[in-house]
Structure 1
């Protein structure tokens, strides 16, 4: 019987001890715990492609009480503390939204089959922080506000792990009430409205109180968002309630000057909502009392009901937002923080017209169809009604070619809805003396192969590059881009670096 030599035995013991140490360390890393003002949280450890850096992830953290019962149509209330360690490893439910719209959206992304539960109890946020961070790290914080027309979306559709790991910063994705529960307003003290925006303020307040426990610096918070999330960022810049809660801002494909996002007569929409749900419309108090008692299922309108009220817009309530957004901008009455504003070069290329059921996208459009659609879509255009005819003539010209007409119509819509408001907002902020940067994203992603060839950089196409989708290990995430080319990986690294440098330095 032979025995190994001393050196061989010693090597084996060292190797075994090293493996045990790694396993022990792995168990420790995979179950990160953080103590917040409200209680302890247990998260999870996540790897990221292309780097040996890792991220600690904490999902479903409550930043406010569930906005149910008497708290429906009320400002968010501070979260309740908890005693035992709270599990923070599962996605929270998304806020109330039409399941059919979600499924229609998922059809556009057939490889992404993540299903989210829907609940009125939805005021949660997710945090992604570098695994090595601690309370002394004081890393920049980037807070993502999702888009979806103030009607749909959720925090967990966006994976912040790659952006956090590659750029050594804390990423937070937040949720806010949507649709009726998020923006219903009677225009008076019974239901002022803007509940979803107030939720965003509450999330930012929670971040100020707690983000240091995750290695974040409450004195270096950048808010960023896309579409309705970009609008939200722009509105938070204008709101006195959000002043001091963030220090830099990025609006991607959406600003507060998008005309369809605000209503001057919320009481009209309130009565339509009350009628659909079978509530008394004789007074604001009666409507609110009745609607608060309705089950959450009745707070989600189906496609037929959406024909009567397509969107529940925000309102000028005199509290959260004190005047018309353009008045505030012109009067330099806003937080003069460093600001990035941008658009994609085909904002109305495919996604939005597809969701709006615009006919003739693939084969081309006739002028009569375009004129009819412009009549229907005029409220979306950020131009005065008297100029619509002039603009239409300018864009469409004298051609009768259906393909050329389609292309010109899509350009008109993209410019009127997104480009013009973005440029105006940039100019107002520049006049205030604050640093402003403007970009145009021009790359058609390789993942857009399901779209017709004429589509360029469509609405939302930049998001995967901002979040480092090529490096996300959860390939079911909407931000994941598993088939990204090497050039796209490089582009994503570049954009992440731009956004992170801005978050660090302004």
Structure 2
């Protein structure tokens, strides 16, 4: 497996490795019922440690029909209503994925979770609401989109009980189609793609039509996600199809690139030689779907392992979910103006290089760094980038740390800083104690480390930090402003570029990585000049 593919795969593993939080004490025997627009549901009630509040839990609620048969590689359709009392006490199956990653997560990240199953019938969501809440309460709603590099993850890996109990909010955790099933497209009307994003839109529409029955306010919905999930949140900010379905956005780690959108069809070009196809029309697309169905049902695990070699950039211009490239929407300020919160950690790439077997960080040099890096900047700019980060030291430990900073800055931190002046910006700096014996000492706050605290971190010495993060996030969901009584002031991100450093103690700061931001502005300028020269040369040749 190539270094970029290996890094992407490890990203998928860690970005979805949030705790199934140990903050719940268990079910208390109560069986709450709720009547939705589609029918009645029976759930469970759970106690949350550290509070006397109870939470009603409803699992496996359908928000779309099963995407099977004619609905495979198609837009989701509303689910059918049911009669009688529907059981909502079991987690839904995960969307098809390689489950061996879960076993790796159990070992590497000390996870404890259920024995998951997978099924294409996976368009379900889980709802956690404070016991006793009703329509009149109009509680803030927080909708979580999981990460996992677009190929991995699911609702059952997260528990919204602690966040719901401590902060009196309704938490919704959704699932969506992954990998080929979520993103296959032919670049035309035969298979437009973006199925996963359309699944998320369907889930948000379900929230608008039903969340009041759980005590939630459909006019106060916050969309939040991590890594690939944060990319999804950002695309919903850009998409006209999502307008009015949510009212605040929180991104835990930025998209690696804003130019995720391209009009070509990556899957199409990849699958043509695989199925010995030269062109596409409606009949061939129909036959291709049939072949894919056979492969998916006969050798699913092989196929998902096979697809891990693809570098996923799944967002396409489909004319439905997205009509213009993201950079054009941003430049024209055609996106939804919602309160925005975005953040990074201080060691974004601590997780992948540690595990990449061919990368010997203790023997890092400039040639090794260049061979590992993956970037869309012109190759002639790589020496300038390498020199900026690694050029004035030969100490192996210092080279290792600087290289990790380089990867994190290039892929996540700089895109987050330049993504358009978020309302509130943070840098998470605390290394969770749970990883003390599973990560090297040089790894600080890793990619996604704050997620477990937002959902109610279970470790005694970090309980206050978890409570603080839950308060900040819930305040933002309530008011579009994370500040509140007893919290360190979190300044808005304005011309002074102020942000909050989040650790066991919080403090304000400004101009995160100021010198590196100026350097990357220079890189982008050189890149723009290079593209301009190439375009002029192309026109002359024509």
How many angstroms apart in 1 are the aligned matches of 2:369 and 2:391? 13
Partners in 2 of 1:299 and 1:322 — Cα distance?
Answer: 33
For 2:383, the equivalent position in structure 1 comes to 389
Provide Cα deviations, 1:293-326, integer angstroms capped at 9, x if missing partner: 2233456655762364242522122321222212
| Gap change, CA 1:337 and 1:386, over 3 Å in 2 | farther
Query: Corresponding residue for 2:161?
Result: 161
Cα distance between partner residues in 2 of 1:467 and 1:153: 16
| 2:400 is aligned with 1:406 | yes
3-state SS of paired residue (1:458): coil
Cα deviation 1:390-441 (Å, max 9, x = unaligned): 21211111433332222111111100110111111133x5xxxxxx101000
Structure 2 stretches lacking a partner, 5+ long: 1-25, 481-542
Q: Is 1:272 the counterpart of 2:246 in the alignment?
A: no
Alignment of 1:117-136 (within 5 A): 117-136=117-136
Distance 1:117 1:340, change over 3 A: same
Change (3 A) 1:274 1:136: farther
Compared CA separation, residues 187 and 283, structure 1 to 2 (3 A): same
Residues 54-84 of structure 1 deviation map (CA, whole Å, 9 limit, x = unaligned): 1000000000000111111101100111112
CA apart distance, 1:207: 0.4
SS in 1 for 2:206: helix
Give 1:288's match in structure 2, choosing from 285, 288, 294: 285
Task: Say which is worse superposed, 282-291 or 235-244, in terms of deviation.
Answer: 282-291
1:372 has 2:366 as partner? no
Cα distance in structure 2, aligned partners of 1:243 and 1:386: 41
1:496 maps to which of 470, 473, 488:
470
Residue among 433, 441, 449 paired with 1:446: 433
User: 1:106 and 1:257, CA in 2 relative to 1: closer, same or farther beyond 3 A?
Assistant: same
The 3 A distance-change label for structure 1 pair 74 and 63 is same
Structure 1 residues 149 and 215: CA distance shift in structure 2, 3 A: same
Correspondence list, 1:189-204, <5 A: 189-204=189-204
Question: Secondary structure of 2:140's partner?
Answer: strand
Written as runs of structure 1 = structure 2, the 5 A alignment for 1:34-433 is 34-255=34-255, 257-259=257-259, 261-266=260-265, 268-276=266-274, 278=275, 280-293=277-290, 294-295=293-294, 296-297=296-297, 298=299, 302=303, 305-306=306-307, 308-311=309-312, 313-350=314-351, 352-354=352-354, 357=357, 359-361=359-361, 363-374=362-373, 377-379=374-376, 383=377, 386-427=380-421
Indicate the SS of the match to 1:218: strand
Conservation of the 8 A alpha-carbon contact between 1:279 and 1:287: no
Distance 1:172 1:125 in 2: 7
How far does residue 134 in structure 1 lie from its aligned partner after superposition?
Answer: 1.4
Q: Check conservation: 1:33, 1:40, Cα contact below 8 A.
A: yes
| 1:458 and 2:452 correspond | no
Deviates more, 1:50-59 or 1:100-109: 100-109
- Secondary structure of the 2:185 match is coil
Say which is worse superposed, 130-139 or 236-245, in terms of deviation. Answer: 130-139
Deviations 1:327-381 (A, max 9, x none): 211211101000001111111112x3356555114x342332211112xx225xx
Whether contact under 8 Å (2:28, 2:46) holds in the other structure is: no
Structure 1 residue 116 displacement after superposition: 1.1
Query: Residues 148-181 of structure 1: CA distance to partner in whole angstroms, max 9, x if unpaired?
Result: 0111000111100000000001000000111000
CA deviations on 1:110-145 (whole Å, 9 max, x unpaired) are: 342432111111100000000121122110000000
Distance 1:500 1:358 in 2: 42
Q: Is the 8 A contact 1:95 1:121 kept in 2?
A: yes
Query: Tell me, what secondary structure is at the counterpart of 2:375?
Result: helix
Question: Hey, what does 1:485 align to over in structure 2?
Answer: 460
Separation in structure 2 between the aligned mates of residue 111 and residue 198 of structure 1, nearest angstrom: 30
- CA offset digits 1:257-313 (Å, max 9, x no partner): 355x444421x432313543x364531535531342223345665576236424252
**Matched residue of 2:442: which SS?**
coil
User: Where does residue 467 of structure 1 map in the other structure?
Assistant: 455
TM-score by length of 2: 0.79
Alpha carbons 1:446, 1:485 under 8 Å: kept: no
Rounded Cα–Cα distance in structure 1 between residues aligned with 2:261 and 2:354? 23
Confirm or deny: 8 A CA contact 2:39 2:84 kept in the other structure. yes
Return closer, same or farther for 1:378/1:30 CA change in 2, 3 Å cut-off: same
Separation in structure 1 between the aligned mates of residue 171 and residue 308 of structure 2, nearest angstrom? 37
Q: Aligned partners of 1:128, 1:358: CA distance in 2, in Å?
A: 43
Specify the SS of the correspondent of 2:424.
strand
Relative to structure 1, is the Cα distance of residues 505 and 35 closer, same or farther in structure 2, using a 3 angstrom cutoff?
A: same
* Distance change in 2, residues 1:402/1:304 (3 Å): farther
**1:197 shift after superposition:** 0.5
Gaps of 5+ in 1: 1-25, 430-435, 471-483
2: CA distance between counterparts of 1:302 and 1:496? 39
1:44 and 1:95 map into 2 onto residues whose CA distance is 23
* Matched pairs, number: 450
Change (3 A) 1:364 1:458: farther
Q: Secondary structure at the match of 2:75?
A: coil
